[in-house]
Amino acid sequence: MREIRYREALREAMLEEMERDESVFLMGEEVGHYQGAYKVSEGLLEKFGERRVIDTPIAEAGFAGVGIGAAMVGLRPIIEFMTWNFSFVAFDQIINNAAKVYPMSAGAIQAPIVFRGPNGAAKQVAAQHSHSSAPFYTNIPGLYVIQPSTPRDAKGLLKSAIRSNNPVVFLEGETLYGVKGEVPDEGEEELIPIGQSRLARSGGDCTIVSWGRPYYTVLAAAEKLAAEGIECEVIDPRTLRPLDTSLMVQSVKKTNRCVVVHEHWPYGGPGAEIVDRLQREAFDYLDAPLERVASLDVPMPYALNLEDTVLPTEERIIDAVKSVSYAE
């Protein structure tokens, strides 16, 4: 297998699906002539032309709605938000239109559409540009919410998202775009099913569930813990709605303890949902209360030292694992 970057994996997914299906198009701010604000769509305009790679004015509600309308009558739009922070002005379109047209029409009209873009904190972009959007969108029946951590998952899941008959919220990460990882060779098509978690690291002492940016912090922390004799098993849910808890439950039955690490505020959201489900689905196997390592409950500050404190740190992860392990 070759190694490519997360952004290249996303680009390949879009390119392959656009080649495969004429009804797929990409629309958003700066996706064409500018080559993408984060260069995810680089080269696609040259390949597919302005008909299928469409630059928009700054009008998220407008072009999100155009995408939904186009999806209702048979196209498969990919709508890029320059960042998910800007999706909030299109919140009504996603929640009231994309997620509602199929149910309100009693299944007569589908909305196969992907909304994608970078989510969460980048670096020092402060309170308005650092939102972790999963808690907002995972609350909505009628949406799929996917947050891939690795290039391989990014590619395989984006391809599945584009082929899905439902609206998909696809959360990427600016700090992940440069991450390299193994992806199947060109010509070897891999579709990763929506709603399947993945075992990222095996270990018998403590289960850690994590995804997105802190996934990498968790893997680093797990190595340090291993050096101290605590072997962590790491599960990446990959899809946050629907949530697949099967591997988590299986793992907790073995380790009897679990820490959930997430980049979003502690009030509700997928982090709390996972903890809720595990305490019900694996109650008899738990030797300690489930713990969560979340973003601190504050709007993101600008100063780098404070931003580093707000996001889940290796130190907090290690402390949490030791706490549920009743280690010193």
Partner 1 sequence: MGVPLPDKDDLLRQYRMMMVIRRFEEEAARNYAKGKIGGFLHLYIGQEAIAVAAADALADQDYIFQTYRDHGTALARGMSPNAAMAELFGRDTGCSRGLGGSMHYFDAERGFLGGWAIVGGHMALAAGTAFKSKYVGDDRVTICFFGDGSTNIGGFHEAMSLAGLWKLPVVFVCENNQYAMGTPLERTSPLEDLSIKATGYGIAGDRCEGHDVEVVADRIGAAVERARKGQGPTFIEILTYRFRGHSMSDPAKYRSRTELEQRKQRDPITVVRERLLGLGVEESTLDDIDLEVDEEIDAAVRFADESEPAREDVMLSTVLAPEGDA
Q: Which of the residues are catalytic?
A: 60, 129
Say which residues have a Cβ less than 8 Å from residue 306's Cβ, sequence separation at least 6.
none
Is residue 142 within the footprint of partner 1 (CB under 8 A)?
A: yes
| Residue window 106-135: x/- pattern of binding to partner 1, with contact defined by CB under 8 A | xxxxx-x-----------------------
Measured CA to CA, the distance from residue 305 to residue 125 in angstroms comes to 13
Among 57, 188, 227, 305, binds partner 1 (CB under 8 A): 57
Residue 10 or 71: the one with the smaller Cβ distance to partner 1 is 71
Among 101, 176, 261, 300, binds partner 1 (CB under 8 A): 101
Stretch in the footprint of partner 1 (CB under 8 A) among 101-109, 196-204, 223-231, 262-270: 101-109
Measure the CA angle with vertex 173, ends 169 and 177; round to 5°.
120
Among 1, 59, 303, 304, binds partner 1 (CB under 8 A): 59
Q: Least CB distance from residue 117 to partner 1, whole Å? A: 18
Measured CA to CA, the distance from residue 201 to residue 311 in angstroms comes to 22
> Which among 201, 210, 200 is positioned nearest to 240, based on CA atoms?
210
Residue 107 or 229: the one with the smaller Cβ distance to partner 1 is 107
Residue 64 or 311: the one with the smaller Cβ distance to partner 1 is 64
Say which residues have a Cβ less than 8 Å from residue 77's Cβ, sequence separation at least 6.
24, 25, 26, 27, 66, 67, 68, 70, 71, 113, 114
Query: Phi, psi (5° rounding) for residue 57?
Result: -70, 175
SS3 per-residue string spanning 235-251: EECCEEECCCCHHHHHH
Is 317 in contact with 221 (CB distance < 8 Å)? yes
Is residue 318 within the footprint of partner 1 (CB under 8 A)?
A: no
Is residue 166 within the footprint of partner 1 (CB under 8 A)?
A: yes
Residue 112 or 181: the one with the smaller Cβ distance to partner 1 is 112
> Which among 194, 161, 195, 187 is positioned nearest to 14, based on CA atoms?
161
Stretch in the footprint of partner 1 (CB under 8 A) among 35-43, 52-60, 266-274, 313-321: 52-60
Tokens, residue 225: 């813990």
**N-terminal to C-terminal alpha carbon distance within the chain:** 41
Is residue 70 within the footprint of partner 1 (CB under 8 A)?
A: yes
Measured CA to CA, the distance from residue 33 to residue 43 in angstroms comes to 9
Is residue 189 within the footprint of partner 1 (CB under 8 A)?
A: no
Is residue 33 within the footprint of partner 1 (CB under 8 A)?
A: no
Q: Give residues 202-221 in contact with partner 1 (rule: CB under 8 A).
A: none
Residue 75 or 125: the one with the smaller Cβ distance to partner 1 is 75
Among 7, 11, 14, 56, binds partner 1 (CB under 8 A): 56
Q: Give residues 226-285 in contact with partner 1 (rule: CB under 8 A).
A: none
Among 66, 126, 288, 327, binds partner 1 (CB under 8 A): 66
Residue 69 or 266: the one with the smaller Cβ distance to partner 1 is 69
Burial (CB < 10 A; 0-12, 13-18, 19+), residue 177, is buried
Residue 193 or 204: the one with the smaller Cβ distance to partner 1 is 193
Q: Least CB distance from residue 253 to partner 1, whole Å? A: 30
Classify 96 in phi/psi space as left (phi over 0), alpha (psi -120 to 50) or beta.
alpha
Measured CA to CA, the distance from residue 226 to residue 242 in angstroms comes to 32
> Binding residues for partner 1, per CB under 8 A?
21, 25, 51, 56-57, 59, 61-76, 89, 92-93, 96-97, 101-110, 112, 141-142, 144, 162-166
